[in-house]
């Protein structure tokens, strides 16, 4: 579907925003180098987009000490599974990020964009309580008659996006991998973690962080596959560990590990066969005829 450059006020009003090809000024979160790189692979920035959502995070759906509920048959239940005590909390964390991203995509559509590059996803405390999830990026439009069915989203910078396209790949969507795990501090772990234990591995803590990272990596790969990607470019790998009082076992504690992985799903697109190397130069003879 093509658009006339004189779309006018009616076209701008359709999404509540001015259309850049109607001659209006657009804004962008791109640097001058990113702008040049995106232009070099056939895309035009059409405007900065923002999506935000504030969520109250805290209820896990389980009463008491979650560390005592996370073990089944001697093995931990991944937080992505319905049987996990933390599955409801993990689903909320996914929902908050995806809702903020969906609102940024809606702005991209209103601007006539084909995708968003340079997606910056931030999570911070909201002053009135809860967490604020914010997505900021630049919507771009291809100089082509071929339009994607859905706008893509990508954390890649302008230069990285251009390099990806030059290599024969395109972003298909931002992917998330989120996992939460808890571990109750039993007597052995408490003994190994004490100052008198000396320099040695606390294997209970090692198992906790390994398990939560593996689960998050697995969920990231599954989410990338849902976007139709053949591969994945990872942007962020975040691990946070906090303590929680365990009311079931008296004066004891649980450790809660949270792993969040973010990346861009990418897919290969077909290209016609072209000879390798630089294009041959056109030579013009400048001698006068005798």
Interatomic CA distance for residues 101 and 239, integer angstroms: 22
- The set of residues, in sequence order, having a beta carbon less than 8 Å from that of 214 and lying 6+ positions away, is none
Per-residue buried b or exposed e for 159-175, using 16+ beta carbons within 10 Å of the residue's own CB: ebbbebbeeebbbbbbb
- Residue 187: is its pLDDT beyond 50? yes
Rg (CA), the chain: 25
Tokens 């897919």, residue located = 267
E strands, 152-214, in order: 152-153, 169-184
Task: Give the whole-number percent of the chain exceeding pLDDT 70.
Answer: 66
Q: 3-state class of 239 per DSSP?
A: strand
Query: What is the distance, to the nearest Å, from the Cα of residue 2 to the centroid of all Cα atoms in its chain?
Result: 30
pLDDT band of 141, cuts 50, 70, 90: very high
Higher confidence at residue 4 or residue 24?
Answer: 24
Token duo for residue 170: 């395109």
- The set of residues, in sequence order, having a beta carbon less than 8 Å from that of 84 and lying 6+ positions away, is 70, 77, 78, 90
Instruction: Return the pLDDT at 189.
Output: 63
Q: What is the pLDDT of residues 255-287, one digit of tens each?
A: 888 999 999 999 998 644 444 445 544 444 445
Span of 41-45, 127-131, 161-165, 190-194 with lowest mean pLDDT:
190-194
Per-residue buried b or exposed e for 77-115, using 16+ beta carbons within 10 Å of the residue's own CB: bbbbeeebbbbebbebbeebbbebbebbbebbebbbbbb
Higher confidence at residue 28 or residue 239?
Answer: 239
Q: What is the pLDDT of residues 87-113, one digit of tens each?
A: 788 889 999 999 999 999 999 999 999
Residue closest to 119 by CA, chosen among 108, 130, 132? 108
Interatomic CA distance for residues 53 and 39, integer angstroms: 32
| CA neighbours closer than 13 Å in the CB half-sphere of residue 277 | 3
């Amino acid at each position: 579907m093509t658009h006339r450059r004189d779309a006018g006020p009616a076209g701008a009003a359709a999404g509540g925003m001015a259309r850049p090809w109607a001659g209006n000024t657009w804004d962008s979160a791109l640097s001058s180098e990113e702008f040049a790189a995106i232009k070099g692979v056939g895309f035009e920035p059409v405007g900065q987009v923002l999506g935000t959502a504030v969520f109250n995070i805290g209820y896990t759906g389980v009463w008491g000490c979650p560390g005592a509920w996370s073990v089944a048959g001697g093995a931990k239940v991944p937080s992505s599974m319905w049987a996990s005590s933390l599955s409801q909390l993990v689903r909320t964390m996914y929902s908050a990020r995806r809702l903020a991203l969906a609102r940024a995509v809606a702005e991209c559509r209103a601007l006539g964009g084909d995708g968003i590059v340079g997606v910056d996803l931030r999570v911070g405390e909201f002053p009135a309580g809860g967490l604020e999830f914010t997505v900021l990026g630049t919507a771009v439009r291809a100089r082509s008659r071929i339009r994607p069915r859905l706008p893509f989203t990508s954390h890649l910078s302008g230069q990285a996006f251009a390099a990806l396209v030059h290599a024969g790949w395109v972003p298909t969507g931002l992917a998330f991998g989120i996992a939460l795990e808890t571990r109750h501090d039993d007597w052995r772990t408490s003994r190994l973690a004490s100052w008198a234990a000396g320099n040695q591995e606390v294997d209970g803590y090692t198992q906790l962080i390994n398990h939560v990272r593996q689960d998050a990596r697995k969920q990231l790969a599954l989410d990338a596959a849902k976007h139709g990607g053949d591969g994945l470019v990872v942007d962020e790998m975040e691990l946070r560990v906090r303590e929680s009082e365990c009311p079931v076992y008296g004066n004891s504690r649980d450790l809660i590990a949270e792993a969040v992985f973010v990346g861009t799903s990418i897919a290969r697109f077909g290209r016609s066969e072209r000879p390798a190397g630089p294009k041959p130069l056109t030579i013009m003879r400048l001698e006068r005829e005798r």
